[in-house]
Amino acid sequence: MTYGLGIDAGGTYTDTAVVDLDSGRLMCGSKALTTHSDLTAGIRESLSGLDRGLLRQISLTSLSSTLATNSVVENKGCRVGLICIGTNYVNSVRPDCYAVVEGRFSMSGKEEKPLDVRTVRSELEAMKGKVDAVAVSGYVSVRNPSHEKRVERMARSILKVPVVCAHDLTSKLGFEQRTTTAVMNARLIPVIEELLRSVKAIMKEFGIRSPLMMVKGDGALMKDSTALKKPVETILSGPASSLMGAKSLTGVDDAVVIDIGGTTSDIGILKNGFPHIEPEGANIGGRRTRVMAADIATYGIGGDSRIAVNGQDIILSPVRAVPLCIAAKKWPSVRRTLESLKDITDDRAPDSCRTEDIVQDTEFFILAHAADTKDLSTADRRFLTLLKRRPFRLTDAGERLGIPAGAFSAGELESKGYIMRIGVTPTDILHAEGTYTQYDAESSRIAVGYLARKCGMDTNSFIGKTKTLITKKIAGCAMEKVLLDESGKDALSDSEKELVSRILYGCSGDYALTFGLRHPIIGIGAPVGAWLPAVADLLHTKLILPENSHIGNAIGAVTGSVCETVSITVRAAGPEITEEPECDVFTGEEIRTFGWPKEAMDFAVREGTRLAKERALVSGAKNPVVDVITDENILEVGDRKYFRGATVTVKATGKPDLS
């Protein structure tokens, strides 16, 4: 038997799984809470729940993580210098040092302006001691990368730091997107380097001596050495792992995959056994990149979503809260404080206000991470110091410190990430109902009962209504994702939103609307059994709940393949339109000119195959298999056809080389 270890460090849980790679059988699995301040602590705890004997027999370890995505969104990483050649960058991801130098190529790859070497040298000298990595991006560099390569050599010589060239990350045009991708990649290098170093140390602790790979955003695997050069490709690796896990656990090729985590629900689509890829590149934190990643929509509804009562309305908030059942198990003071709410029989709040301004009597706050307190008020500084000990409600903190609770800027501190809220969540609803009781169910029952009384409802009615709201929210997200995938749009129109609302919440007229999925739903994540049966009923489709869906991401992390894709552009040379034109071939490394289209196309296929295989082997594939797709641009005039160009896409895929 050949054993593989999958590790998925998600937003709430870190999952690990040992899989027999020959049969696909799960040998053992484990879950632990993710430790955001130090991901390796959660990984270590999760590994502790696995069979030590099996860990010593592991032949392959593969890791997926939210680290790259979170680092980009939070703008974390090293200091980056950016050299742009031939045009300005709008700074959608702001570098620490920035310079624009002369040098430009035409769309045909011919030099229009020579590289201003003197300015390049001067700008690089000025960056000494100010940057830890450099990104280089030139206008139309995918057609001719020679300027980027020259700046790269100079930067390595002068600064002695890692250098990232935009043309090495994508072969697509789009200067802004390529530059954004290059800056992100440069900034992530030390982040991923530290993660991989720490994971290798943990592997050594547990006697794991296998190669280490990482999951890319498209679900494919790559060697750790490749990940160090292209860490930006690990963005969205966690959601991609859920799609690969769904495929591995079910064998289904076409499905809507719903991964319900603690913080969010990720929804993606399997087509012909592969994740549907975002054609224009992943959009991360509102910034379009050229990272080829699975087209996955993330929605703010999960096991840790905050549930609040606003007047007599039940509100589902996208804000993450630590479930009370988990907090009470960790901090007994939470349970003791909640006990006082049992005696409150009627505490209705008829007035409505902004949900973010509401702080329930069932909600506590805990310190999230160390804060720069110099600009904070005295009350807030004392509040943060108090939270270092244990969680407090605002009213209790005010009494302890002798400060009115209204003096604390809890909402602002929460939005800055200094503190985290503890409160009622969907996980607490399940604990109060008794369908899921892993943590302190009694604390959940007390808090849910209190909120029910605020709404003038009994506990069971409150639980039922809240579950219906959650179910319809998830169903609505799935409908939105499918409609967007079908249309290729980034957002639903107002009329489409109204249609979804009427389907879910009913129509007032003399008609009814229904919505049905043609493919099944596959559920991934611990709570899917509680929520997705009703979602599938609403969407009139079959539901597949794999036996080990609770660790599906970890299974997906280790059961994928290595896959590298190369795109080569062929263009008719010159302005003349003829049936057999001279053609230029742009490989991303060089430009070759051929006398007629067939010769150019044959070369493009051969060179694309060579490059794709070579990159797949470097990324850790064994015996990669090649698939070639050609998309020709033919101009038809009457019965005559004129070749104007083509894109040759070569994909090399293979299982990881375990040797």
Contact 132, 80 (CB under 8 A): yes
pLDDT at residue 122 greater than cutoff 60: yes
User: Angle, nearest 10°, between helix axes 441-454 and 459-487?
Assistant: 90
Higher-confidence residue of 273 and 473: namely: 473
Mean pLDDT of 29-56: 89
CA distance 391 to 364: 6
- Beta strands 255-260 and 265-271: pairing type? antiparallel
pLDDT at residue 170 greater than cutoff 90: no
Per-residue confidence (pLDDT) for residue 285, from 0 to 100: 64
Beta bridge partner(s), residue 259: 266, 524
Q: pLDDT tens across 270-328, in order?
A: 998 888 887 777 776 667 778 888 888 888 888 889 999 988 889 998 888 999 999 99
Per-residue confidence (pLDDT) for residue 166, from 0 to 100: 92
Burial of 63 (0-12, 13-18, 19+ CB in 10 A): buried
Contact 289, 281 (CB under 8 A): yes
pLDDT at residue 112 greater than cutoff 80: yes
Share of residues in the chain with pLDDT > 70 (%): 97
Beta bridge partner(s), residue 215: 221
CA distance 562 to 657: 9
Instruction: Identify which of 488, 571, 565, 602 has the alpha carbon closest to the alpha carbon of residue 140.
Output: 571
pLDDT at residue 349 greater than cutoff 60: no
Kindly state the DSSP code that residue 656 receives in the 8-state scheme. Answer: B
Name residue 49's amino acid.
Answer: G
pLDDT category at 536 given cuts 50, 70, 90 is: very high
Helices and strands (DSSP H and E) totals, the chain: 20, 30
Mean pLDDT of 2-17: 90
- Beta strands 583-586 and 591-594: pairing type? antiparallel
Per-residue confidence (pLDDT) for residue 261, from 0 to 100: 82
Name residue 70's amino acid.
Answer: N
Dump strand ranges (E) for 91-177. 97-101, 104-105, 111-113, 133-138, 163-165
Mean pLDDT of 3-17: 90
Mean pLDDT of 66-78: 77
CA distance 565 to 615: 8
Q: Which residues contact 41 (CB under 8 A, 6 or more apart)?
A: 35
Higher-confidence residue of 561 and 489: namely: 561
pLDDT category at 525 given cuts 50, 70, 90 is: confident
Instruction: Identify which of 43, 40, 37, 41 has the alpha carbon closest to the alpha carbon of residue 14.
Output: 43
pLDDT category at 75 given cuts 50, 70, 90 is: confident
Dihedral sign from CA coordinates of 200, 206, 211, 214: negative
Higher-confidence residue of 621 and 10: namely: 621
Whole-model pTM: value is 0.81
CA distance 368 to 37: 9
Mean pLDDT of 347-367: 77
pLDDT at residue 348 greater than cutoff 60: no
Task: Give the residue carrying structure tokens 């797949």.
Answer: 616
Mean pLDDT of 213-242: 91
Q: pLDDT tens across 184-223, in order?
A: 999 999 889 989 999 999 999 999 999 999 999 889 999 9
Q: List, in order of start, the domains of the chain with CATH numbers.
A: 73-186 (3.40.50), 305-463 (no CATH), 562-654 (3.30.110)
What one-character-per-residue DSSP string does 419-472 give? Answer: EEEEE--HHHHHHHHTS--SS-HHHHHHHHHHHHHHTT--HHHHHHHHHHHHHH
Task: Give the residue carrying structure tokens 């010769």.
Answer: 599
Mean pLDDT of 350-363: 76
CA distance 555 to 548: 9
Report CA 169 to chain centroid distance, whole Å: 18
Q: pLDDT tens across 551-603, in order?
A: 999 999 999 899 999 999 999 987 788 888 999 999 888 899 999 999 999 99
Higher-confidence residue of 356 and 387: namely: 387
Per-residue confidence (pLDDT) for residue 353, from 0 to 100: 67
pLDDT at residue 650 greater than cutoff 80: yes
Token output for 98: 């920035």
pLDDT category at 401 given cuts 50, 70, 90 is: very high
Residue 74 CB neighbours (<10 A): 10
Half-sphere exposure of 2 (CA within 13 A, CB side): 15
Per-residue confidence (pLDDT) for residue 485, from 0 to 100: 84
Mean pLDDT of 230-250: 90
| Helix, strand or coil, per DSSP, at residue 496 | helix
Per-residue confidence (pLDDT) for residue 57, from 0 to 100: 95
Share of residues in the chain with pLDDT > 90 (%): 62
CA distance 272 to 84: 40
Token output for 279: 């054609």
Per-residue confidence (pLDDT) for residue 577, from 0 to 100: 86
Report CA 508 to chain centroid distance, whole Å: 39
Burial of 156 (0-12, 13-18, 19+ CB in 10 A): middle
Per-residue confidence (pLDDT) for residue 566, from 0 to 100: 92
Q: pLDDT tens across 435-468, in order?
A: 988 899 999 999 999 999 988 899 999 999 999 9
Token output for 469: 């709201």
Mean pLDDT of 468-485: 92
What are phi and psi for residue 421, nearest 5 degrees? -85, 145
Burial of 355 (0-12, 13-18, 19+ CB in 10 A): middle
Torsion angle in degrees (nearest 10) through CA of 477, 480, 485, 486: 140
Contact 307, 430 (CB under 8 A): no
